[in-house]
Amino acid sequence: MKYKCWFWFSSCVSVSFLAIGGGAAVAVLGAPLVLGAVGFTTAGIAVGSYGAAMMSAAAAANGGAVAAGSTVAVLQAWGKHR
């Protein structure tokens, strides 16, 4: 079966790169929205959010503190700078 490509591209490879680039752009632009939705905000972790539950679990597993470089710490940093 031959795949159809857009007429102004010379090959389907170009279409694939365009699709990958579009997906990457959506991921980069959507990440701040997702971080905010789960509770990682510019003001810190929102009370009662999924992020707060993650932080609580991470602190309990680490003896009361969240380890530097952990998933929660990284997400918190990204949320602060979004």
Mean pLDDT of 17-32: 87
Mean pLDDT of 46-75: 93
Greater pLDDT, 47 or 1: 47
Residue type, 61: A
As a whole number of angstroms, the distance between CA 14 and CA 78 comes to 32
Mean pLDDT of 57-78: 92
Q: Which pTM does this prediction carry?
A: 0.67
* pLDDT over threshold 90, residue 52: yes
Q: What residue spans define the domains of the chain? A: 12-80
As a whole number of angstroms, the distance between CA 71 and CA 68 comes to 9
Strands 44-45 and 40-41: what pairing?
antiparallel
pLDDT, position 18: 79
